[in-house]
């Protein structure tokens, strides 16, 4: 492992999909950047590790889905709140 490289990035770079799953369950950041500002997903993709890519995308997709759900809920709430205020 090079200086500044995270454990998750190292596992992704070497295609250790099971290790990636364990590290993610342990709470490691899915999108840390190493020395070259590359994420674990980029490291896995550069080396063609499809199983590692699938694990990282599955987790990233869950976070993106949650973010979108929260954003949509907040947007609806704010829009409804503003429209009610305009009625006074």
Q: Which domains does the chain have, with CATH numbers?
A: 7-86 (1.25.40.20)
pLDDT over threshold 60, residue 85 = no
CB 4 within 8 A of CB 37: no
Nearest to 6 by CA among 25, 41, 32: 32
pLDDT tens per residue, range 38-70: 788 888 888 999 999 889 888 876 666 666 666
- Tokens, residue 76: 């609806």
Q: What is the pTM of this model?
A: 0.64
Residue with the larger pLDDT of the pair 33 and 87: 33
Determine the number of helices (DSSP H) and then strands (DSSP E) in the chain. Answer: 4, 0
């Amino acid at each position: 492992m090079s200086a500044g490289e995270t454990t998750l990035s190292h596992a992704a770079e070497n295609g250790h999909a099971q290790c990636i799953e364990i590290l993610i369950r342990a709470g490691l950041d899915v999108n840390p950047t190493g020395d070259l500002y590359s994420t674990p997903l980029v490291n896995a993709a550069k080396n063609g590790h499809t199983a590692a890519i699938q694990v990282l995308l599955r987790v990233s997709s869950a976070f993106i889905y949650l973010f979108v759900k929260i954003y949509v809920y907040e947007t609806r709430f704010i829009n409804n709140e503003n429209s009610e205020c305009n009625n006074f």
